[in-house]
A and B are shown apart, each in its own frame.
Chain A
Amino acid sequence: MTNLAILPILIPFLSGVLVAFTHNRLGLTRTLAMLLAIVHLITMGFLSFHVLTEGSIVLEAGDWIAPYGIVLVLDPLSALLVLTTSIILVAAVWYAPSSVSEEQESFYFYAFVFLLITGVSGAFITGDLFNLFVFFEVLLMASYALITHGGKKVQLRESIKYVLINLFSSMLFVTTVSYVYAVLGTVNMAQLAERAAASDSPGIITTVAILLFFVFATKGAAFPLYYWLPRSYIVPNPVISALFGALLTKVGVYSLIRTFTLIFHQQPEIIDNLFIWVGNLTMLFGVLGALASRNIKLIVAYNIIPAIGFMLVGIGMFNIDGLSGSIYYLLQDMIIKAALFLLAGTIASLAGTADINKMGGMIRSHPMLGWMFFIGGLVLAGVPPFSGFIGKLLLVRGAFEKGETVTVIIMLITSLLILLSIVRAFIRVFWGEGNTGAEPAGKHGSQIFSAGFLMLFTVFLGIGAEAILPSVQQIADYLLEPQTYIELVLKGDH
């Protein structure tokens, strides 16, 4: 039974290899990719159900007993995240044929997508700090290939910056891991947690933790390290943007949640304030960027950043409402960002431009698209009954509990400004007169459906919150008690 924990890595990895072999038979590749993505989704659904009902699965790779070998830990948090990842994978593979050119598709497009998912899932389930670095590299390698896929002038220009910033933060990550090893003498997360808690010099651990915070904050695009994100996320194909926007920054946030709740919470007064203030500034600056843009893809890309701020603030609260708010927001934001990137891609491709000032009146020719984009905006801003509202409600409750009134005010202002930025784009694109993008829906039909598939999940997360919320609160409870994780991995016999 414990071997099941490898499936989130194994299925996409083997799928990637398989579709790489069929790359010059496009029809077969498409069918195979869709089939494998659905198999992945079903398996992850089963695994998550199993983990949520029967308890976590821990796999000690190669039978090396923890903490000596690498462990893969499929606990409720990881399980929900790999499930969400597989939902996004299905939507992306569904959307791809109508958006990516055939030449690009046959150039190992699906293979790279599956390898990206391998890295993301691996980062979600690993229980070893150095292994986390390795999975970061796996997903980054796939993302380097995807961001340059197509080789347009602007893509090559922006991808250099993307590769460089990620390379730099990866090397900083390695350096930080070696600091951690020097201070605590292990890289197994459970053992790290145990030793950090028993350590008599919390000062040095906090110093190392802040270094690690900057590594993950660069990956997760927190203030002031987000400047590389918006422009490099809009240059590739919308499918790739959706995958990046939904998954890559969230891996950074997940790593922050995992390491800082488990290991580095030795001096809460420093760490909590760091999270809260970086979060506050991330929200404000990110949303200002969204307000200043006139490019619809850039507006969506900038809206990634305030969402990261919300999650960071929730981690900084370090109480049950704050953390469950962060996790809920993380799950729903992955889905809604993917959906919005796909919708923005469809809008830009219909209008032939991404500039919202040159569009108008599209609601008449494409009402479905319009209303879905509108609902997406409401979800982002946190209007009830959609999923964004539940996350924000929990976060606001957590902030009041902690006594952070300033943060509550910033959160509410940011939500309002997010609504403004999206609704303004909606009005410019869909109302009035002008370029209606009146070409027949044709190939855009499947694009709208795959975004609709994602919207279905966000609406479910909002209206069906009653079903999800108890599990999320359980996860938050479990994160607040590192002892549970330590016992789960080390089994108390070392």
Chain B
Amino acid sequence: MEIIMIVLAGILFGFAVYNILQKRLLRIVIGTALLSHAAHLFILTMGKLKRGAAPVLREGAENYSDPLPQALILTSIVISFGVTSLLLVLAYRAVKTNGTDNMEELRGNNHD
């Protein structure tokens, strides 16, 4: 199971980087969203996947799943949620004021 998850995370990383390297701004935003999904999947896998046990540690409990990766993912999901929505608004404003969503044209020149 871990192997499948890691391969999936790897595929997501690949797609994310491919999208970030595109010229259209919206595709770049989608790329960053995919990137955060890949990272979250990766954290989940790194805590070792287990089924059928609560992530609560009682004294003497023999079977439990690790609660820490879940706490980390939750924090990270909230953050990437916020950043993605901010990035969307920023991209919208940038496209409105600059009149283009092509990164090539958003490069700027040396005179300003």
Contacts and interface: CB of A to CB of B under 8 A. Distances in A.
Interface of A: 130, 133-134, 137, 140-141, 144, 148, 151, 153-154, 156-160, 163-164, 167-168, 170-171, 174-175, 177-179, 181-182, 187, 231
A154 B112 contact: yes
Nearest to A153: B97
Interface residues of B, number: 33
A301 to B, nearest CB: 14
Interface in B90-104: 90-91, 93-94, 97-98
Interface string B33-45: 0011011101100
Interface of B is mostly: helix
Nearest to B29: A164
Interface in B40-55: 40, 42-43, 46-47
A178 B73 CA distance: 10
B9 to A, nearest CB: 9
Cβ-closest 9 pairs across A and B:
A182-B46, A156-B94, A178-B46, A178-B43, A174-B39, A171-B39, A137-B79, A171-B35, A175-B39
A170 B80 CA distance: 9
A349 B86 CA distance: 30
B22 to A, nearest CB: 12
B14 interface: no
Given A151-B97, A159-B90, A181-B69, 15 more contacts: A153-B98, A160-B90, A163-B83, A163-B87, A163-B90, A164-B28, A167-B32, A167-B87, A168-B35, A174-B40, A175-B39, A178-B42, A178-B69, A181-B43, A181-B72
Contacts of A178: 39, 42-43, 46-47, 69, 72
B82 interface: yes
B46 A144 contact: no
B79 A187 contact: no
A67 B68 CA distance: 12
Contacts of B80: 171
Contacts of B97: 151, 153, 156
B93 A168 contact: no
B46 A158 contact: no
A157 B68 CA distance: 39
B14 to A, nearest CB: 14
A174 B87 contact: no
A455 to B, nearest CB: 30
Contact of A177 (B72, B87, B90, B108): B72
21 contacts: A140-B83, A148-B93, A153-B97, A156-B94, A157-B98, A157-B108, A160-B25, A160-B91, A160-B94, A163-B86, A163-B90, A167-B87, A170-B83, A171-B39, A174-B72, A177-B72, A178-B69, A181-B47, A181-B68, A182-B47, A187-B72
Contacts of A137: 79, 83
A134 B75 contact: yes
Contacts of B42: 174-175, 178
B106 interface: yes
A146 to B, nearest CB: 13
Contacts of A168: 20, 32, 35
Contacts of A171: 32, 35-36, 38-39, 80
Nearest to A133: B76
Contact of B76 (A141, A144, A148, A174): A174
A205 to B, nearest CB: 15
Given A167-B87, A171-B36, A174-B43, A154 B69 contact: no
Nearest to B75: A134
Question: Counting chain B CB atoms within 10 Å of each CB, which of A133, A153, A170, A171 scores highest?
Answer: A171
A154 B28 CA distance: 19
Given A163-B87, A178-B46, A134 B28 contact: no
Contacts of B86: 141, 144, 163
A174 B91 CA distance: 24
A134 B87 contact: no
Given A160-B25, A171-B36, A181-B46, A134 B69 contact: no
Nearest to A292: B110
A164 B20 contact: yes
Contacts of B112: 154
